[in-house]
Amino acid sequence: MMIKMKKIIILGSLAFIILSCNEKIALKNSFLPDHNYKIHSREESQVEIILNADEQKLKEFGMESPVNIFIFKDIKQTIETSEVDSNGSINFHSIIENIIAYQERNGKRTELESTKSLVGMQSFGKFSKENKTKIDSVKGDNLSTELKQQLPDFLNSMFSNIQYPDYPLGIGDKFIQELPLAIPVGETNLNIIMTYEYILAEVSDKEAIFNIKSMIELKKDNTEENVRAGGNGDGLLIHNLDLNYSTNYTTNIEMVFESKTEEMLITQKIISKSSIKTEIYNK
């Protein structure tokens, strides 16, 4: 009788585990009213540029090889949301509180003043009930008129975050997002596609955890000849189910870009690490 009871308990436990693994969840990123979002983003990139050419040619052009560049950016920002208006939109106020940004070229450090000038920049706008961002105005003491005009598009893209599919996901399910980019290599812009594959690895009461696989390749309609691009990487995405927001996002990517001219072969090797961590508080 005891053995039979143990078998029933074990079978019941297995059934619960199987049901839990097969459960599907619907996810989306959305801002809550009357909350503060403290966002800390950090990016480190190590770039090696190799110019394969005759040494005399390099001297004529005033160029050196290899060139090692380290780029560092650390940005802290707060988004404060308020009540829901009559249209179902949420008003927000955003401020960039601190920026550390510099690059080192063959060991010589240079501050990235144009990026650091964004400290204190404030933006005002709305998050619609469809989770779209509308920037109404931008304020900042160090901003030129031209930069103020460009910033709304930049901020809209920054707020877009992860776009989850409109169907439920189960363990092992995945979705894909593509990001087109233009990478300067010498006098050429390489049009590439960065593909991110998000695979749901684990679900608990409070979190959904995704493994990330990334791939870089040239766009199929790229018209440039004698160019090559490729790379891959991995990462982790943690989505808070209670707050309906992705609170931890990290990626590691290695890329290689090549462009061949009559004078030289230009190779860029890039190792990039980035993270975005968000703390959310009720006002």
The per-residue pLDDT for 225 is 67
Please give the Cα distance from 65 to 188 (Å, whole number): 18
The per-residue pLDDT for 1 is 44
Tokens 């961002």 correspond to 133
The domain spans of the chain are 31-47+63-160
The per-residue pLDDT for 10 is 39
The per-residue pLDDT for 247 is 93
The per-residue pLDDT for 38 is 95
The per-residue pLDDT for 15 is 37
The per-residue pLDDT for 93 is 94
The per-residue pLDDT for 144 is 67
The per-residue pLDDT for 5 is 39
The per-residue pLDDT for 121 is 87
The per-residue pLDDT for 188 is 63
**Pair 234, 250: CB distance under 8 Å:** no
pTM to 2 decimals? 0.82
Please give the Cα distance from 28 to 243 (Å, whole number): 10
List per-residue pLDDT tens for the chain, 283 residues long: 434 433 333 334 433 333 345 578 888 888 999 999 999 999 999 999 888 877 777 777 777 878 899 999 999 999 999 988 888 899 999 999 999 999 999 889 999 887 877 888 888 999 887 778 888 888 877 766 666 666 666 665 555 567 888 899 999 999 999 888 777 665 666 788 889 999 999 998 899 999 999 999 887 665 566 778 889 999 999 999 999 999 999 999 999 988 887 778 888 899 999 999 999 999 7
The per-residue pLDDT for 78 is 94
